[in-house]
Amino acid sequence: MGSKKTDSMDTIWPISPHTAAKHDLLRNYLGAWFAIFGQSSNHDKVNFVDGFAGPGVYAAGEEGSPIVALRALLEHSAVDKFAGTQFNFLFNEHDPQRLDALKAMVERLRYELGEFPPNVNLRFENRNFHDLGQDILGSMKETEVLAPTFFFVDPFGYKDVPLELMQKLLAYRACEMLIYFDFNSVNRFATAGNVDEHFEALFGTHAFTEAPASGPARHEYLRDLYEQQLRDVGRFTYVRSFAMVRGTGHVGYYLFFCTRDLQAFDKMKAQMWKLDPSGSYRFEDRLADVLVLFEAGGSTEPLKEWLLERFAGQTVPIQVVIDTVIAETPYYSGQVKTKTLAPMNRAGVIGGANQKTVGQFPAGTSVVFP
């Protein structure tokens, strides 16, 4: 049939709760991302690349990531303000039947919403992601400054996403990426020896073979190694992993988010905290070995403890406190003042410098940590 399918799934398959979780995050984050970059006078275009786009639809009609991304823009409450920016969507899917299904889904969306605005440009590719990546690199001029580009990298499994390629593709400052990390396969096979070549490409190092044999130490080693490689080889300033945990309590996979923009990093975490976990999945992170569960209205107790240790004995300008929380913890800026510092300040656990009112930390104030 000419299909390049390398998996055993049908062209369109049933959605799983963990895919829905990915889509919730993508939808929410892209809404914020389009608002940051779509109105910026510094950029006349932005790019969204879905490298493993899928068929655009699941068995019961649920929409796939390309449609989620398009809707995030086309139904954005501020879309009228984005008219001065070109939005380039690149959807790549190597299975021809899935690509056809995706194109049909995009046409359905066009029928539903009407003709897309002229600044929304679509490109479909039917390539192996690796080849597509090489071509993108080959076609770029050495001095070209790539527009803000969001890569959604969502393969089945752990093949086809070699770190070396990702590093080259994402070398431009304004590139960021949300990537699926197939932790369970990595955990199962990393020291088995039979797929070393794929893992070597995935991690960009042989160090995965040194993972402890079992238990939490093995889990942490493999997760942290990938994170470290994204920082060191990928040269991303900010990297965070979010564990998607099944209802059974087992880690289903990790999503790694990588960026060089503190504001974007803050927005991604804000969206993570706004997700409404269902009974079948939740996202988790950790802070100094303390588990942090992402849920609306979630606790900031671990952050309080962390701040006391991180800044012990120092007087720190409020903006530095906020930026450090964004850069180094699972929390986002909106959780710092009212939810965390104010109750600590009122309880006398921390002090304030230049403050008019106890519990309030406007610009110009500092936090006095014991």
Ligand X SMILES: C[S@@+](CC[C@H](N)C(=O)[O-])C[C@H]1O[C@@H](n2cnc3c(N)ncnc32)[C@H](O)[C@@H]1O
Q: Residue from 124, 156, 172, 189 that binds ligand X (CB under 6 A)?
A: 156
For residue 74, the SS3 value is: helix
- Please say whether the beta carbons of 318 and 353 come within 8 A: no
98 binds ligand X (CB under 6 A): yes
Backbone dihedral angles phi then psi of residue 326, each to the nearest 5 degrees: -60, -45
Q: What angle do CA 98, 27, 236 make, to 5 degrees?
A: 95
28 binds ligand X (CB under 6 A): no
Q: Residue from 31, 133, 160, 266 that binds ligand X (CB under 6 A)?
A: 160
266 binds ligand X (CB under 6 A): no
Lay out the site mask for ligand X across 128-147 (x = CB under 6 A, - = otherwise). Answer: xx------------------
- Which tokens go with 305? 């403890």
Least distance in angstroms from the C-beta of 189 to ligand X: 18
Residue showing tokens 């710092």: 336
**Whole-number Å distance between alpha carbons of 105 and 126:** 16
Residue whose CB is less far from ligand X, 160 or 266: 160
Q: Residue from 91, 94, 178, 229 that binds ligand X (CB under 6 A)?
A: 94
Residue showing tokens 């070209």: 144
Neighbours of 118 (CB within 10 A): 8
Q: Residue from 28, 47, 85, 92 that binds ligand X (CB under 6 A)?
A: 92
Residue whose CB is less far from ligand X, 52 or 82: 52
Give the total of residues touching ligand X (CB under 6 A): 18
Q: Which of residues 47-76 bind ligand X (CB under 6 A)?
A: 52-54, 64-65
Name every residue whose Cβ is closer than 8 Å to that of residue 208 and which is 6 or more positions away in sequence.
186, 190, 191, 199, 200, 222, 225
Tell me which residues touch ligand X (CB under 6 A).
19, 22, 52-54, 64-65, 92-95, 98, 128-129, 154-156, 160
